[in-house]
A = this chain, B = another copy of it.
Amino acid sequence: MSDLLARRAALLGPGMATFYRQPRHIVRGEGVWLWDAEGRKYLDCYNNVPHVGHCHPRVVEAICRQASTLNTHTRYLHEGILDYVERLCATMAAPLRSAILTCTGSEANDIALRMAQAVTGKTGVIATDHTYHGNTAAVSQLSTRMPPIGGYGGHVRHVPAPDGLRPLGGEKGAAHAAAFAAAVQAAIDDLEASGHGFSALIVCPYFANEGFPALEEGFLRPAAEAVKRAGGLLIADEVQPGFGRLGRHFWGHQRAGVQPDVVTLGKPMGNGHPIGGVVTAPDILAAFRKAFRYFNTFGGNPVSCAAAMAVLDVLEQEQLPQNAERTGALVLEQFRTIAARHPRIAEVRGAGLFFGAEFVRPDGSPDAEFCAEVVEAMLARGVILNRLGIGMNTLKIRPPLPFGPAEAQMLADALADALAELDR
């Protein structure tokens, strides 16, 4: 272990983040389970990339079959990309009927920002002040974590991330949605006045990194209307909530009840095979292709498309979104029972298989330290999860979708046990 850490620091650079106080050396995965090098088994309640389960045989088979047949680029014709894009777009409402395939969600958001530029002729973007949309130089400008060298471009405005427990303006309900929309409108006005102009609002429709706050139905709609009125695009970053994770709604924007102009995809799309994408209306895609020449060597290659198609097959055949809906409801119920006994839990929330519990101090302020202790205590019980949110005080639980009632029970039992220990 210490040997691996030393090699890692030398070869990959110092300060490359690992998870947990004692990083884990994972060697095998299957379904919702992971094993480390010492043979220890973990219930994976964290990894959303192996969406239909670690090493799902059907996805592996699709990758192997296509990799041994042909893997080339999109300047030749191939049915793989056409069949996949057609099927993908059918899960969304018209006019979302065309796509560009990339290798990562970061590449997808990098394109989405340029689509908005192509349509509006402007460059200003609005994001929340606690979001993350990826790692390219352009997309990194949306994050507030660290000022880039040479400074921010001046074309980004941040609006306060919604917090269900601490709503903007102090009131929950319609007033919260109106306050958020007003912040978006103010940012639009400011961008227009600045000369950059307003091109897009980019949000995760589930506000995943913001801690997936419990918000009133239709929360995003007034903001989406402000965007539309101003002639900008609404970009829904579905890298985290998409592909049926939320249960009843296949996409986060469907759950939020808004129709985005551009939808970006990544992580779960190929069950770990590097594929991302941007879905949009044909006229927006045409505007982008006219304004920017774009070609992605690996994007949309036959193997990536085979992997992504297999993911859609498995989701359908194993009814995984339905399982996410059912199991998610079960977990929330169990978590609520636990929360009733634990005043440190301010709220239990989530949808489908993306849920968590928020920890606070007696005065209601975020308790990141205690949440970190819970994460480590869960790891000690063989349960892999993590934390996120504005105050980093909310458990981040997003297991592979084959996570069923038995695993839900294990997770709830482990949490109850971990809290009992920490409370002693």
Chain A positions near chain B (C-beta within 8 angstroms): 1, 4-5, 7-8, 10-19, 23-29, 34, 47, 49-50, 54-55, 57, 59-60, 63-64, 67-79, 81-82, 85-86, 89, 97-100, 103-107, 110, 113-114, 117-118, 121-123, 135-138, 140, 145-146, 148-150, 155, 196, 266-267, 271-275, 282, 285-286, 288-298, 300-301, 303-304
Contacts and interface: CB of A to CB of B under 8 A. Distances in A.
Contacts of A55: 67-71
Nearest to A15: B289
A26 B301 CA distance: 12
Contacts of A28: 69-70
Contact of A106 (B107, B271, B282): B107
Contact of A295 (B100, B121, B135, B285): B135
A304 B274 contact: yes
Contacts of A296: 104, 106, 135
A288 B15 CA distance: 10
Contacts of A34: 70, 72
Contacts of A140: 292
Nearest to A101: B12
A290 B63 contact: no
A50 B72 contact: yes
Number of copies: 2
Contact of A27 (B11, B70, B75, B89): B70
Given A1-B77, A70-B28, A98 B13 contact: yes
A285 B135 contact: no
A54 B71 contact: yes
Given A59-B67, A64-B64, 5 more contacts: A13-B286, A27-B70, A54-B71, A104-B297, A107-B136
20 contacts: A8-B77, A11-B81, A12-B100, A13-B288, A24-B76, A25-B78, A29-B70, A59-B67, A64-B64, A104-B104, A104-B107, A106-B296, A107-B107, A114-B137, A118-B149, A137-B138, A140-B292, A146-B293, A272-B301, A274-B301
A86 B11 contact: yes
A282 to B, nearest CB: 7
